[in-house]
Homo-oligomer: A and B are copies of this chain.
Amino acid sequence: MQKYGGTSVGDADRIRAVADHVARTKKQGDDVVVVVSAMGKTTDSLIRLADDVSKIQPGRELDMLLTAGERISMALLCMALAELGVKATSFTGSQAGIITDSTHTKARIIEIKGDRLKETIKEGSVPVVAGFQGVSLEKDVTTLGRGGSDTTAVALATALGAQACEIYTDVSGVFTADPRVEPNARKLHKISFEEMLEIAASGGKVLALRSVEFARRHKVALHVRSSFTWESGTWIVEEEKGMEEAIVSAVTHDTSEAKITVTKVPDRPGIAAGLFRALADEAINVDMIVQNTSRDGNTDISFTVPKADLDTAVKVAKQVIPTIGGTEVLADPDVARVSLVGAGMRTHPGVTARTFETLASHDINIEMISTSSIRISCMVRAGVVEEAVRALHEEFELS
C-alpha cells in the first residue's frame, strides 16, 4: 500500500515521478495498491470557490465538490503509469467499496468491500484509489475529514492484508523536533504507535491522529517517507520487547490553541461538568484543563481550545457563568505548548523534574501542565516556545 499526499502529486512532473516509483515497486514483483490525495492546493481552492458562491454549504454538496480533487489526480496517475507500460485502474471511494456512515464532511468508515480491488490486482493492474472519500449506505458521496487520505490508506491496507502502508509526503519522516525550529533535529528510524499518537496529538503534523489510531488498532505497520528524496523514512510499529526505548523520542510544539480562564468559580462538584458540557454541546474540543487550588471556596478554571473556536468558547463560558457562578472569562491567545514524548518515560521517573528545571533555567514560565504515561506537555508564552523546544531537545540529547 502506497499513499501519496497532495504535494507528492502537486504537478505533472511530480505525478510522473510518483508513477515511476510505483512502476519500480511493481516491477520488483510486489503487488501494490496506491491511494492519492488531491493535487497540491486543489481542495483549498475548491473551498474558496464554494465560499465565493454561497454562505450555506450543505455537507452533501460540499462532499460532492471536494471529491472532484482526487478524481483528477488518480486519473492522471493512471495515465502516467500507462505511459510507463504499467496497467492501472482508478477507483473512486465508492467504486473501491469504502462504505461510510452518512456524516457528511467527516464520515466514519463502516466497511470496506475489497472485491473489486482484489480482482483488479489479480488481473495484474495497479488499483489507484481516491483518498479521503467514500459512499454512504444511501449512495451519497461522503468525505472522511482532515487527514482522510491517510485513513483511506490504512483502512485499505487492513482490508487487503497489505504487508505495510507507506505514507509518502513532503518530509522525510518523523523528527525529534520540528527541523525549522531545531536545526539539530534528527529523523527517527522507528517509533511505536503510542508515541506517534502522542506526537500527532501534541503538534506533530506529519500524520493525522485518526489514521495512526486506526493503524494501531489494526496493527498495520506505517512507513512515513518522502516522495521527493525517496529515502527510507520513519517506521511506526507495535511496541516490541527489546525495542530501544528512548526516554524521550521527540519534542513537539503546538501554537494552534488558546487559553481561557474562568475566575472565582465555586469549588463544588458538578460545576466543571456544567462548563464543559456546554462547550461539548458546541462541538468545541477542549484539550488541557487546569483547576487552581481552592481559596475561600472558589477556584480558577483554565482550559485550552483551538484558536478558531476561541470566540465561541468565550461566549459559551460567559453564558454559563450565571448558572455555575464565577466572575470573569479571560481569553489568552498568546500561548503555545511544548511537549516531550517517549515510551521510556513509563520506566524512567524524573523526566518531569528535568523538564521543569530545564525550562526554569531558561526563565521560561510554565502556565499549565498535562501529562500522560508517555508525554509531558507544558503551556508557555507563545514567544518563548521555540526556545523551549531547543532547550529540551538539548537537555534530552536528541541531536
Contact = CB atoms under 8 A, between A and B. Distances in A.
Interface in A50-95: 50, 52-58, 60-62, 64-65, 67-69, 71-72, 74-76, 78-80, 82-83, 88-90, 92, 95
A205 interface: no
A49 B90 contact: no
Contacts of A74: 64
A15 interface: yes
A72 B15 CA distance: 22
Contacts of A71: 64-65, 67-68, 71
Contacts of A393: none
Contacts of A12: 49, 52-53
A288 interface: no
B53 A72 contact: no
Given A67-B71, A68-B71, A95-B139, A79 B57 contact: yes
A227 to B, nearest CB: 16
A58 B72 CA distance: 14
A70 to B, nearest CB: 9
Given A64-B90, A72-B65, A78 B50 contact: no
Contact of A54 (B55, B61, B62, B80): B80
Contacts of A57: 79, 82
A136 to B, nearest CB: 12
Contacts of A92: 64, 141
A115 B90 CA distance: 28
Contacts of A61: 75-76, 78-79, 82, 88, 90
B72 A46 contact: yes
A16 interface: yes
B65 A80 contact: no
Most chain B CB inside 10 Å of its own CB: which residue of A57, A62, A64 = A64
Nearest to A48: B12
A191 to B, nearest CB: 36
A82 B50 CA distance: 12
Interface of A: 12, 15-16, 46, 49-50, 52-58, 60-62, 64-65, 67-69, 71-72, 74-76, 78-80, 82-83, 88-90, 92, 95, 139, 141
User: Shortest 10 CB-CB distances between A and B: which pairs?
Assistant: A65-B75, A12-B52, A54-B79, A64-B75, A68-B68, A54-B83, A61-B78, A56-B82, A68-B71, A61-B75
